[in-house]
Amino acid sequence: MPVFYMRSPVYYEAMPPGRLHPISVALRDIASIFGRMGFSVAYGPELEEEHYNFNVLNIPADHPARDMQDTFWTKESPRRVPRTQTSPVQVRYMEEKIAEGIQPPYRIVVPGKVFRNEATDATHEAQFYQNEGLVVGKDITLAHLKGTLEQFFKEYLSEGAQVRFRPSFFPFTEPSVEVDVWFEAPGKEGRWLEVMGAGMVHPSVLSNAGIDPKEYQGFAFGGGIERLVMVKYGVDDIRGFHGGDIRFVYGFDETTA
């Protein structure tokens, strides 16, 4: 069936409003849901030092963990990386706070662009957005991670969303988990979707940032934003997001609440 969409009877002299990119819409949803749970929004550079992208996150040079992400390198000396993850902002943020004399608790989300040097297809892009989360405090547990993510997915995806953890490995968290979310798309059967990696912040990441891991602990998570948008709105090819094609942006109808 063709879809008809009538504009209100305006004439060409009049100016209809433009559109927000769906990533912006997602960023607003993310910021607002996490904002209600007390999260600030933090930023860091997209072209990152090797030190922050890898070393302080427990990924030393010549460690097999570096193979977990295909990395672009610049020709600079010292070389830098278009960041492979938003996680470097964890350490940057904590360092900044410690330098300002502000001890935890911290709660931040870091939505931002990341880069992976891998062949592109319907589900892989060389650049995409990730949303990182970091909570550090005195008694933060894996149970808080589960509660926080469940709340996010209930609000972002659907009331019926559930979260489950599977064991995994990231050098900067211990324990580390993969996060699956149970999602029932309208008119479809529910299924578990792998949506992010997470875990309890590794004590050496805390100490690298100048925080005493004996006193504080926390959780961190990170996952692709395009993937969430794809699941939520039924987009089947990730390559439309950053191609600069307005047909993609207009593939969604926008209404303001």
Partner 1 sequence: MKTSRAWLQNYFNKELPSTEVLAKALTFHTAEIEETTEDLLEVNVLPDRAAYMLSHRGVATEISATLGIPLKQDPLREALPQYEVSKRLTVTRDAEGKCSRYIGALITGVSVGPSPEWLRVALESVGQRSINNVVDATNFVMLNLGQPLHAFDAHKLTEREGQYAVGVRPAEQAERITTLSGETYDLEEGTLLIADMHADGAPLGIAGIKGGDRATVSETTTDIILESAHFDGVSVRKTAQSLKLFTDASSRFQNKPSVALPAYGMRDIIALIQEVAGGVLEGVVDSHEELLPPDPVVVTLDQINGVLGSTYSAQDVSGAFDSLGFSYTLAEETFSVLPPFERKDINIPEDLVEEAGRILGYEHIESVMLPVQSIAPDQAKFRGIEAIKDFLVARGFTEISTPAFAKEGEIELQNPLQEDRPFMRASLLPALEDALGRAVHVAPRVLGHSRYIKLFEVGTVFTKHGESLLLSMGVVDTSGKLAAEALKENVATLEQELLRIPASAHFNLTGTIMELNLGKLNLEKLGAEYAPVSVRLSAYRPFSSYPFALRDVAVWTPEGTKETEVAMCIQEAAGEFLVRTDLFDRFEKEGRVSYAFRLVFESLERTLSDTDLDPAMERITEALNQKEGWEVR
User: Binders of partner 1 among 98-117, rule CB under 8 A?
Assistant: 105, 107, 113, 115, 117
SS3 at position 115:
strand
The least CB distance from residue 211 to partner 1, in Å, is 15
SS3 at position 72:
coil
User: Binders of partner 1 among 42-61, rule CB under 8 A?
Assistant: 43, 45-47
The least CB distance from residue 210 to partner 1, in Å, is 19
Cα dihedral sign, 255-227-114-54: positive
User: Binders of partner 1 among 58-77, rule CB under 8 A?
Assistant: 62-65, 67-68, 72-76
φ/ψ (deg, to 5) at 36: -70, -20
CA dist 223 and 190 (Å) reads 20
Q: Does 150 bind partner 1 (CB under 8 A)?
A: yes
User: Binders of partner 1 among 183-242, rule CB under 8 A?
Assistant: 186, 200, 202-203, 217, 233-237, 241-242
**Per rule CB under 8 A, count of chain residues that contact partner 1:** 110
CA dist 204 and 222 (Å) reads 19
Contacts (Cβ under 8 Å, ≥6 apart) of 247: none
User: Binders of partner 1 among 151-170, rule CB under 8 A?
Assistant: 151, 163-169
Q: Which is nearer to partner 1, 6 or 99 (CB)?
A: 6
